[in-house]
Structure 1
Amino acid sequence: MSDAPQIAQKAPYPVEVSAGKSYFWCACGRSSRQPFCDGSHKETGFEPVKYVAEKDGRVFFCGCKQTGNAPLCDGTHKDL
């Protein structure tokens, strides 16, 4: 079991979301469907993070997996 997530990319993923829809953000960095979970976290200590969109629009999901505001980007990637 790894104690640190893999960095998928050092930039956020802009995603158009729909109000009321649930999205499952990949927290481990292993998913082939970034920024969303594909089940690759099995056998790690990570679980996907559920995000429910409050309104239609664009949000920025964290790509580096180091954010303090999971699942959204907080700019941490700039320091990596």
Structure 2
Amino acid sequence: MWCLVLQVQRCLQSTQPVPAARLPYRVKLSAGKRYAWCACGYSKKQPFCDGTHKAKAPNISPLLFTPDKNKTVMLCACKQTKNSPYCDGSHLKVIYRDVVKYVKGLFK
């Protein structure tokens, strides 16, 4: 029985990040402060980690970073960026994919 519970838990755990939002988060960062950017998409404190990945996506760890100066940046919300934690425009692909899926659904 216990073995079955562990197998079900593993099936429910994500190995791929989920988009937290379709557009990036505009955030003011403080120099020298350590941040943990949510890489899995499950955090309720987006764009930062709240530890939810430990249960929902244990294979996806947050990205720790410390800015060298005070600045306002765009942090990725779609979790597809190649420049973590910063937005690189990948959300446009996510939005496009969603639109195509929606349009295809209209014609079924």
TM-score, normalised relative to structure 2: 0.71
**Residue 15 of structure 1: CA displacement?**
0.5
Q: Give the % identical residues.
A: 49
Say which one has the larger Rg.
2
Aligned-pair distance for 1:67? 0.4
Q: Which residue of 2 aligns with 1:15?
A: 27
Alignment of 1:28 with 2:65, yes or no, is no
- Once the two structures are superposed, residues 2-37 of structure 1 have per-residue CA deviations (whole angstroms, 9 ceiling, x without a partner) of 221111001111110111111100001000000000
For residue 54 of structure 1, what is the amino acid of its counterpart? Answer: D
- Could you tell me which amino acid in structure 2 is paired with residue 19 of structure 1? A
User: Which of residues 64, 67, 82 in structure 2 aligns to 1:50?
Assistant: 64
- Return 5+ residue gaps in structure 2 as ranges: 1-12, 95-108
The alignment of Structure 1 onto Structure 2 pairs a total of residues equal to 80
Structure with the bigger RCO (C-alpha within 8 Å, sep 6+) is 1
Structure number with the higher helix fraction is: 2
| Regions of 4+ moved over 4 Å | none
CA RMSD in angstroms, aligned pairs only: 0.9
2:52 aligned residue (14, 35, 40): 40
Amino acid in the other structure paired with 1:69: N
Q: Which one has a larger percent strand, Structure 1 or Structure 2?
A: 1
Counterpart CA distance in 1 for 2:90 and 2:68 is 24
SS in 1 for 2:86: coil
Query: Partner letter of residue 47 of structure 1?
Result: S
- Once residues 72 and 14 of structure 1 are traced to their aligned partners in structure 2, the CA distance between those partners, rounded to angstroms, is 10
Give, in angstroms, the shift of residue 79 of structure 1: 1.0
